[in-house]
Structure 1
């Protein structure tokens, strides 16, 4: 349920209570942040449409109906276009949320669920931990309204950190919260239970055409990391925008280093932005996604149900956890095709409300309520604030500083000035690209080894590792890059 590089327009919701801690500062997750097992890609190049902006008087805040009218008039130009996420065009500032794309998407709305994934001594317990994280990673879907952050520019990056209490309990099996690194001064004991732990994060826009960003998450205290690429493909049908992961987006890869590098792959499902005809935008998720772990042999099939009878959105999800002879060779994609003898449990609920787990192969509805395990209740949950570098330690291509002029203009309701500043930044990116092309130079990311990697698994460069180590050590300083992509 999350992919972040959404070029065309509003994709996912932003909870107004979780605006950036200071001025700025992935389906979609399907984000963002969920995909079919075979990602959808565009096979043709699409023309750049001309867009006529609806002018908004400076000092006047555009209302939602005005935004929707403008946005819909833009989207109509893309009916039939194979992939509008790859099209080159610029949105007026009044349609933008004043927050950078790279900051907006990070999958860590509730980091305490992420750090607890590997706590259980039981393999099924760790899979349940993955699912709890999965249903909390995109609270923007649950508590917010659709919006559009700034598009990312080549070489732009964002880094931050969370300090959270390690309080999420094991869902099954004996719990082990061993303190491995002690990056936070507080925990001096052998356990992190109830103590503060650090979660560090860095992401970089590694490609502009197609738009792709790489990200890396690390919690040394708990011996857990995650990484992947965010890229999406989008198509407008006339009534909704269908968003699927791009070819480089193979999902979120989570590694439990204290469990012999046990790895989990969580793929993203298809998401839809609808409500254009009713004038009330909303996000739904449909299709099937998977959680797999080759080492334990466990696989999860999650099926999202977009709408029920009479077109009412129901946001239901159902799933099954089962044991495979060989996860990497298992081609099962439908819940009904999983043999009862292999099923360890079932998942059912509403991903915007409560999700439950029941043991065994019995139909969930036949399991007494007392025997069901509450996997997660997202109703009381809100995103946890992130800790970002002070202004004096941010580089010009760091997201908050890069977009600061646009953000200040939007905040001051100076939309014409914001649009002009935004277009200036986009034009600089085009100029830099033309200069590199003339010199026969290819862009090289700074913190990741390649713009994209086969299999969807990015690798940190030495500079990337040093930047992450600086976050762990509380050292925000970082040297300027050898080259800027859009400055």
Structure 2
């Protein structure tokens, strides 16, 4: 569980911090179209093998992405989905992430379910938007351990940016007693402290991590529904600082998708994803949610369903 938390915290930095070049601000992302696909591979690191990634936009209203990640040599796979519910709070945009993921360690016969924190986009009115994490996320393992992670952002006067506090506990243990407390910045350094001790040890310094090399096929080799093919002309216009052309090309994509939906509605046909199918109550997720709900954590399951990868 300690190692899984370490990976999880490093993934937060990779998802919400390191992707933004130093000195720059968040950019408005593309709005994925229904059925949009994305494939990539992370290269081998220290002989662990390649890691393959498959993503597909399985819903447009509300926006939901299904994803599957696998490293056959390491015996690890991840299957999950994520959706977003946005709302304004004062001068900030709040994005609540809906969904969950399951990681299987096949060689150890262990499974871990985890959720994602909410995002706060600050600085919108100053044209300098940046992301901070808020709320809670949870990790539950079939081995009988669970972790609760609380996020806090920097206040007007004091506080540390990108701060988190994590407690690892046993499902069968006393909820007031934790095994380990992990605290620090998910975008920088953190420490770990064993229960009953006051001495903290270094846990993770994400600034020292080097990401694996990312491989994506050339545009000529990509299918028509792959992200870089769909948004090619929009991206080219943005790089050329031609906002008018970017807007025209974006409208073409949106109008085409509206026409496709109208045709499906007229014919009474239902769109189906290529790589994923919905399982209303996925057994593994349902079992892990029951384990987590039996604790005194604040976890509340909205659904035990998952977009499962079609192997």
TM-score range, shorter chain: 0.7 to 0.9
**Structure 1 counterpart SS, 2:203:** strand
- Identify which of 320, 327, 350 aligns with 2:167: 320
Show the counterpart of 1:459.
Answer: 308
| CA contact 1:207–1:451 (8 Å) conserved in 2 | no
| CA contact 2:190–2:203 (8 Å) conserved in 1 | yes
In the alignment, structure 1 residue 235 sits paired with structure 2 residue 63: no
**Structure 1 counterpart SS, 2:184:** strand
Show the counterpart of 1:142.
Answer: 17
- Identify which of 207, 210, 217 aligns with 1:379: 207
Higher radius of gyration, 1 or 2: 1
Structure 1 unaligned runs (5+)?
1-126, 166-193, 327-336, 466-487
Structure 2 unaligned runs (5+)?
282-302
**Structure 1 counterpart SS, 2:124:** coil
> Which string of whole-angstrom CA distances, capped at 9 and with x for unpartnered residues, describes residues 107-133 of structure 1?
xxxxxxxxxxxxxxxxxxxx1121111
| Cα distance change of structure 1 residues 278 and 399 upon mapping to structure 2, 3 Å threshold | closer
Return the offset for 1:136: 1.5
Report the Cα distance in structure 1 between the residues aligned to 2:127 and 2:210, rounded to whole angstroms: 26
Tell me the number of residue pairs that the alignment of Structure 1 and Structure 2 aligns.
284
Greater strand share, structure number: 2
Return the offset for 1:267: 1.1
Relative contact order, higher structure (CA 8 A, sep 6+): 1
Report the Cα distance in structure 1 between the residues aligned to 2:214 and 2:279, rounded to whole angstroms: 26
Report the Cα distance in structure 2 between the residues aligned to 1:360 and 1:313, rounded to whole angstroms: 24
Report the Cα distance in structure 1 between the residues aligned to 2:279 and 2:84, rounded to whole angstroms: 15
| Cα distance change of structure 1 residues 409 and 239 upon mapping to structure 2, 3 Å threshold | same
| Cα distance change of structure 1 residues 158 and 254 upon mapping to structure 2, 3 Å threshold | same
Report the Cα distance in structure 2 between the residues aligned to 1:447 and 1:146, rounded to whole angstroms: 30
Show the counterpart of 1:129.
Answer: 3
Return the offset for 1:382: 5.3
Show the counterpart of 2:33.
Answer: 153
**Structure 2 counterpart SS, 1:195:** coil
Return the offset for 1:281: 2.0
| CA contact 1:345–1:361 (8 Å) conserved in 2 | no
Report the Cα distance in structure 2 between the residues aligned to 1:361 and 1:445, rounded to whole angstroms: 50
Report the Cα distance in structure 1 between the residues aligned to 2:86 and 2:68, rounded to whole angstroms: 24
| Cα distance change of structure 1 residues 382 and 241 upon mapping to structure 2, 3 Å threshold | farther
Show the counterpart of 2:258.
Answer: 430
Return the offset for 1:203: 0.7
| Cα distance change of structure 1 residues 297 and 212 upon mapping to structure 2, 3 Å threshold | same
CA-atom RMSD in angstroms: 2.2
> Which string of whole-angstrom CA distances, capped at 9 and with x for unpartnered residues, describes residues 131-181 of structure 1?
11111213253332312221111111111111131xxxxxxxxxxxxxxxx
Report the Cα distance in structure 2 between the residues aligned to 1:441 and 1:451, rounded to whole angstroms: 20
In the alignment, structure 1 residue 399 sits paired with structure 2 residue 246: no
- Identify which of 35, 39, 53 aligns with 1:201: 53
Show the counterpart of 1:413.
Answer: 241
In the alignment, structure 1 residue 216 sits paired with structure 2 residue 68: yes
Report the Cα distance in structure 2 between the residues aligned to 1:451 and 1:231, rounded to whole angstroms: 16
Show the counterpart of 2:107.
Answer: 258
**Structure 2 counterpart SS, 1:410:** helix
| CA contact 1:271–1:285 (8 Å) conserved in 2 | yes
- Aligned pairs (5 A) from 1:2-17: none
- Identify which of 266, 273, 284 aligns with 1:445: 273
Report the Cα distance in structure 1 between the residues aligned to 2:3 and 2:136, rounded to whole angstroms: 19
| Cα distance change of structure 1 residues 263 and 438 upon mapping to structure 2, 3 Å threshold | same
Return the offset for 1:360: 2.2
Calculate the TM-score normalised by the size of structure 2: 0.84
Report the Cα distance in structure 2 between the residues aligned to 1:390 and 1:225, rounded to whole angstroms: 25
| Cα distance change of structure 1 residues 312 and 360 upon mapping to structure 2, 3 Å threshold | closer
